[in-house]
């Protein structure tokens, strides 16, 4: 079977490689010519364990080809990003563009799958767009009953949100269970049969709206739980209690499982998805909204802490350990650590030494500042008087205690401050 995947990013490219390795003929589409060239030259533009080899093998075997335009296929998978505006409103422009791009290539019997996390009601919207773009085809809707003749012109549509954690993408694409939301029953079943080829986790079939809200709920659950931990960290700071000890003790209860506080919640997904729920039910999504506000204010809370410690020194030299949005990745999307560093530089708090073993150059957002340098761990620790841990990369675990004892430390991840 031929699969056409739109959007060769964090989800699309690994999925393309995996399907090509399973024997599907995969045509990957991206509007960025650099991405297309990189894939066709067997050189993936994103870092993910195992991805480089997979792309090399599948491109060389001829099963994976990338281009700027879609082709006719049996299955279309949309993995372009959904976005959020500055006003926290959902923006599904890229999805609309992708649907317009595939419309001319749809053939009767083909299946369109939306893997992107989307606001509730988007799959229905897509069904409407498709029916307007292709009046010669029958696009099912929840209410439609399709006559026998029409069945020959029918296509299928389902939402099957991705669930992978960057850094474990190739494992989780196969092992995680998945929720499939068909726009109608037959579409759900068609998508089920497709995912059965490569997913060994369970496959649950439901309707499109439920699948959409399920995905948003998963990420929002995490956002709310982290906000609870962050709120506790602020309460603890106020009461002179070590939050890491508190959480270790509270989590020893069999029915308590609080996540870790930190400098804020980043990445492309968690913050955006909570806002999608808020947008769908503004009056009702109260905890979800408050949680967002708490997590969003964390970088500022950390900046206040850093500034109060930097004030001990006439010439603060601040080693910032980690710049990525979470540990053991090179991913800088919506990183709270990056936000904090940028703010420290804008406010001229001191000289900043960045220690980020997962990148080899400072990102553009910091490039205009002259009081910031990317250094290695040893140099950073030697020169700094204030050490700020922003990301819990494994490489930071083994820093000797007697080195840290000589420094003023802000540990936003509890890596060093957890009592034995």
The residue ranges that bind ligand SAJ (CB under 6 A) are 117, 162-166, 218-219, 222, 226, 259-260, 262, 265-267, 269-270, 325-326
Q: Minimum distance from CB of 355 to ligand SAJ (Å)?
A: 17
d(CA 137, CA 51): 37
Q: Which two tokens stand for residue 104?
A: 């001319």
d(CA 420, CA 131): 62
Q: With beta carbons less than 8 A apart as the criterion, state whether 389 and 411 touch.
A: yes
Q: Minimum distance from CB of 94 to ligand SAJ (Å)?
A: 15
Buried b (16+ CB within 10 A) or exposed e, 195-210: eeeebeeebebbbbbe
Smaller CB distance to ligand SAJ: residue 260 or 296? 260
Element (H, E) at 10: none
- The yes-or-no answer on residue 269 being catalytic is yes
Q: Which residues contact 233 (CB under 8 A, 6 or more apart)?
A: 243, 261
Q: Which two tokens stand for residue 255?
A: 């029915």
Q: Which two tokens stand for residue 328?
A: 């053991």
Q: Minimum distance from CB of 152 to ligand SAJ (Å)?
A: 37
Q: Minimum distance from CB of 146 to ligand SAJ (Å)?
A: 33
Q: Minimum distance from CB of 171 to ligand SAJ (Å)?
A: 12
Q: What angle do CA 18, 20, 24 make, to 5 degrees?
A: 120
Element (H, E) at 18: helix 12-21
Q: Minimum distance from CB of 335 to ligand SAJ (Å)?
A: 7
Of the candidates 215, 272, 326, 342, the residue annotated as catalytic is: 215
Smaller CB distance to ligand SAJ: residue 166 or 182? 166
Q: Which residues contact 180 (CB under 8 A, 6 or more apart)?
A: 158, 159, 160, 188, 191, 192, 195, 203, 204, 205, 206, 211
Smaller CB distance to ligand SAJ: residue 28 or 266? 266
Q: Which residues contact 367 (CB under 8 A, 6 or more apart)?
A: none
From the centroid of its chain, how far is CA 132?
A: 32
Of the candidates 4, 110, 269, 320, the residue annotated as catalytic is: 269
Q: With beta carbons less than 8 A apart as the criterion, state whether 174 and 18 touch.
A: yes
Q: Please identify every residue annotated as catalytic.
A: 215, 269
């Amino acid at each position: 079977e031929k699969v056409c995947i739109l959007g060769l990013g964090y989800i699309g490219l690994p999925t393309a490689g995996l399907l090509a390795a399973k024997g599907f003929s995969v045509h990957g589409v991206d509007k960025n010519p650099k991405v297309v060239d990189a894939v066709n030259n067997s050189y993936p533009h994103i870092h993910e364990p195992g991805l480089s080899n997979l792309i090399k093998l599948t491109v060389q075997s001829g099963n994976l080809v990338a281009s700027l335009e879609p082709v006719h296929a049996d299955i279309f998978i949309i993995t372009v990003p959904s976005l959020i505006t500055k006003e926290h409103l959902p923006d599904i422009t890229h999805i609309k563009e992708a649907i317009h791009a595939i419309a001319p290539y749809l053939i009767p019997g083909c299946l369109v799958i939306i893997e992107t996390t989307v606001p509730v009601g988007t799959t229905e919207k897509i069904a409407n767009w498709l029916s307007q773009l292709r009046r010669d085809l029958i696009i099912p809707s929840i209410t439609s009953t399709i006559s026998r003749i029409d069945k020959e012109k029918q296509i299928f549509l389902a939402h099957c949100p991705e669930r992978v954690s960057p850094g474990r993408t190739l494992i989780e694409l196969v092992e995680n269970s998945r929720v499939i939301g068909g726009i109608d029953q037959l579409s759900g079943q068609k998508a089920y049969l497709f995912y059965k080829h490569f997913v060994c986790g369970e496959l649950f079939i439901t309707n499109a709206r439920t699948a959409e809200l399920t995905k948003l709920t998963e990420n929002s659950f995490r956002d709310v739980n982290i906000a609870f931990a962050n709120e506790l960290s602020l309460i603890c700071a106020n009461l002179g209690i070590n939050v890491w000890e508190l959480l270790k003790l509270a989590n020893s209860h069999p029915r308590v499982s609080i996540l870790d506080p930190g400098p804020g919640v980043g990445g492309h997904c968690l913050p955006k998805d909570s806002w999608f729920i808020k947008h769908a039910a503004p009056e009702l999504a109260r905890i979800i909204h408050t949680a967002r506000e708490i997590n969003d204010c964390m970088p500022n809370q950390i900046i206040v802490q850093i500034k109060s410690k930097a004030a001990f020194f006439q010439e603060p030299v601040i080693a910032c350990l980690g710049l990525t949005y979470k540990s053991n990745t090179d991913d800088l999307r919506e990183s709270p650590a990056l936000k904090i560093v940028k703010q420290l530089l804008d406010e001229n708090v001191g000289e900043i030494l960045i220690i980020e073993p997962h990148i080899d150059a400072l990102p553009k957002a910091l490039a205009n500042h002259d009081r910031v340098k990317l250094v290695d761990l040893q140099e950073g620790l030697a020169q700094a008087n204030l050490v700020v841990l922003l990301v819990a990369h494994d490489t930071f675990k083994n820093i000797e205690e007697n080195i840290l004892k000589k420094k003023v430390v802000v540990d936003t991840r509890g890596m060093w401050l957890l009592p034995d």
